[in-house]
Amino acid sequence: MANDSSTAVAADGADLLALVELALGEAKTLGASQAEAAISMDVGLSVSVRLGEVETIEYQRDRGMAVTVYFGTRKGSASTADLSAAALRETVAKACSIARFTAEDPCAGIADPDTLATDIPDLDLAHPWDVTPERACDMALECEAAAMAVDKRITNSEGAGVSTHRGVRAYGNSHGFLAAYPGTVHSLSCAVLGAEGEEMERDYWYSTARDWRELEDAKSVGRTAGERAVRRLGARQLGTMKVPVLYTPDVARGLVSHFIGAIRGGSQYRRASFLLDAAGQQVFPEWFALSERPHIARALASAPFDHEGVATGDRELVSGGVLLGYVLSTYSARKLGLRTTGNAGGTHNLFVHCRERDFDAMLALMGRGLLVTELMGQGVNGVTGDYSRGAAGFWVEDGRIAYPVHEVTIAGNLRDMYRGIVDVGTDIDARGGIRTGSILVEQMTVAGA
């Protein structure tokens, strides 16, 4: 069955490439000097259960095309979910009509030919999972049951879910680039609530992978969700103080996301970043390093080329604590007088280099402070770097977890926080496009929410 699905994905890719060629040919016929088109197709199954009952079973089938044309430096874009030949021609015509009314922009245009990918590596991203709705529901029910069985104080559930998606993305432009690649993503998740007296706490766990065979088993995901919810019972608030803060890996990736947002080309050329013109500057401690590795087999953020067909490749973003360059698309690179870094559409597998301490050793290094396991709210200012988030986690004394904490706020400034990173742990979380261990920040303001 898996081979049949793989063949279907490959066939979809070939069909989509033909449609991309049709759109590009139509743009040329209508007089566009340059054009690019991208078509994506995604099919999937998602099920959810709650309190032992199946709640939803959903099939998804999404598809669409976006086309952009250029008449000199005038740009027009249009999109459609109808992939018939007539609809594609009409969409291209609309884009051409729009372009004739837009202002000239000297930075507009498709990626330069010498930046485009010429070798498309097979990154082993497609592993279709022919799971039936019945089997998916059984897995979700098993996951939730394992969570509820952890402790009698687990009294309620937000549910468990299983999802599987496979898709293909095809892209082409008038420089002759034409390529497609398939991908799959599968996940299993559970969230439950524990109660003790009038107090109620919620927590969750999940597993996600390109290859369904690499998912954690359902019982393990459920048990972890249940254990996490129970250990938060008896949570206290804290007074206002300045203490070290240790981020667990799943929340530490947010610190990296804020950094990437600040060094994106759009933030730089719009002059809207707390790290404005920071390339070449010491942003982190001298031992800190951050790398991009787009070609890791089966990784969730791997890609053989970016959304403009530009080749992706290994890159060091930070070395010795120094920012080596920005995250750029073709347009943002031109606005800054630089060269694209192959990041149209985002970054690909960021690695925060760890040192030698495991999680327990990171707790010991902190000694006394706050361990953050969950963040709430969006209190981050990308222009000033001011940072204020609701948080929950655990108070740590003498290098050991003492008791759970909730309804607190942690605050600081990201520039100071980055320079104040004490260490990065070996407990790396690979469930996403940013892989990092726990991150210890030397000092932040902690206050009752």
Q: By residue range, what is the domain housing residue 141?
A: 2-231
DSSP annotation of 436: B
> Do residues 145 and 248 share a domain?
no
The pLDDT tens digits for 254-271 are 999 999 999 999 999 999
Q: What is the pLDDT of residue 303?
A: 97
Over residues 96-118, mean pLDDT? 97
pLDDT for res 12: 58
The more confident residue out of 108 and 10 is 108
Q: What is the mean pLDDT of the chain?
A: 95
Instruction: Write out 298-328 in H/E/C secondary structure.
Output: CCCCCCCECCCCEECCCEEEEECCEECCCEC
My answer on whether 130 and 247 are in the same domain is no
Q: Are residues 397 and 424 in the same domain?
A: yes
Residue 448 is predicted with a pLDDT of 84
CA separation for the pair 73, 93 (Å, rounded): 17
CA distance 431 to 448: 31
Average pLDDT over residues 350-373: 97
pLDDT confidence of residue 7? 39
Has residue 158 been placed in a domain? yes
pLDDT tens per residue across span 274-289: 999 999 999 999 999 9
pLDDT at 377: 86
- Do 138 and 245 reside in the same domain of the chain? no
In a domain? residue 314: no
Per-residue pLDDT tens digits for 230-257: 999 999 999 999 999 999 999 999 999 9
Q: How far is CA 284 from the centre of its chain?
A: 22
Q: How far apart are CA 99 and CA 359, in angstroms?
A: 55
Segments in 285-389 forming alpha helices (H): 330-336, 359-366
pLDDT score at 407: 92
The verdict on 95 and 224 lying in the same domain is yes
Contact between residue 374 and residue 388 where contact means Cβ atoms under 8 Å apart: no
Nearest to 292 by CA among 330, 270, 246, 259: 259
Whether 423 maps to a domain, the answer reads yes
Confidence of residue 383 (pLDDT cuts 50, 70, 90): very high
Indicate whether 247 and 160 sit together in one domain: no
Please list the residues that pair with 236 across neighbouring strands.
Answer: 405
Please check whether residues 137 and 247 belong to one and the same domain. Answer: no
User: Is 248 found in the same domain as 139?
Assistant: no
Whether 178 and 245 share a structural domain: no
In a domain? residue 301: no
**CA angle at residue 302 from 259 to 246, to 5 degrees?**
40
User: In total, how many domains does the chain have?
Assistant: 2
